[in-house]
Amino acid sequence: MTRAQLIELIHQRKSFLCVGLDTDPAKLPAGVDMLTFNKAIIDATRECCVAYKPNLAFYEVLGAQGWDILHQTIAYIGDQHFTIADAKRGDIGNTSTYYARTFFETLGCDSVTVAPYMGRDSVEPFIQFPGKWAIVLALTSNPGADDFELNHVNEEPLYKEVLRRVSSWGSEHNTMFVVGATRPEMLAEVRKIVPNHFLLVPGVGAQGGSLSEVVKYGRNADVGLLVNASRSILYASSGSDFAEAAGAEAKRMQEEMERIVWQ
């Protein structure tokens, strides 16, 4: 999916919601298997969101079966939504090339999350595929972000150096950045460095981030945001009505987005 197609989809659906498919086998309703759960969640939310983000940890733990479930889940999503493989890969160049081929060619995802710690040659392979994206970790929402991302290098936080360098390797057509919603005021600082790039923003919902604050500080002329919600949607109910509850929560978030941006 190209940047223009993604922007068109956002305005068409009046939504920039990304549903995180962090499907925890331990939290599934009684009698519901993982693939059935994913399909039900997708069916209940697809009209309200523009993207889906399976977190690979929850699939890889199941071995070959988990990879099969992931493959079938991505195929079920189809081509009317932006797909994000939340894999957080990043390795030497030839290894990263094979990671990129795994997610872009074998699984057919639009994008993959990438850790930039090893530098340029670990990121560039992910931006060599037309119509595909690298979503690079910049300023995350976890407490451990303070250990490195907010440490000062050359008199400014490391995350700013990551934004500057990585944005020079690619463009707003093939690179996005992860910026956590639990630090919304810093989105303004991020926008000074990457005004045109899309930002993937986790942390709204179960982690307590404010959607209105994210939009206030992070929106650009194209909206430029994909706001991810996982647990608050997936586990809105633990009963047999889990899909209906997920759909209702996704709809609530979409309507809030519509009020904030389009009304």
CB atoms within 10 A of CB 34: 21
88 in catalytic set: yes
On whether the CB atoms of residues 162 and 194 are closer than 8 A, the answer is: no
Give CA–CA dist 112/105, Å, rounded: 12
Dump the DSSP string for 28-71: SPTT--HHHHHHHHHHHHTTT-SEEEEBTHHHHTTTHHHHHHHH
Which sign, positive or negative, has the C-alpha torsion 76, 77, 79, 83? negative
Instruction: Read off the tokens for 193.
Output: 């460095």
On whether the CB atoms of residues 175 and 134 are closer than 8 A, the answer is: yes
- Determine the residue type at 121: D
Residue 103 CB contacts under 8 Å (≥ 6 apart), including other chains: 85, 87, 89, 109, 112
Give CA–CA dist 97/126, Å, rounded: 7
Instruction: Read off the tokens for 93.
Output: 């160049």
| Candidate list 88, 132, 160, 251, residue with the active-site label | 88
On whether the CB atoms of residues 206 and 232 are closer than 8 A, the answer is: yes
Secondary structure element (H or E) that encloses residue 133, with its range: strand 133-139
CB atoms within 10 A of CB 169: 18
Give CA–CA dist 135/161, Å, rounded: 16
Which residues are annotated as catalytic? 88
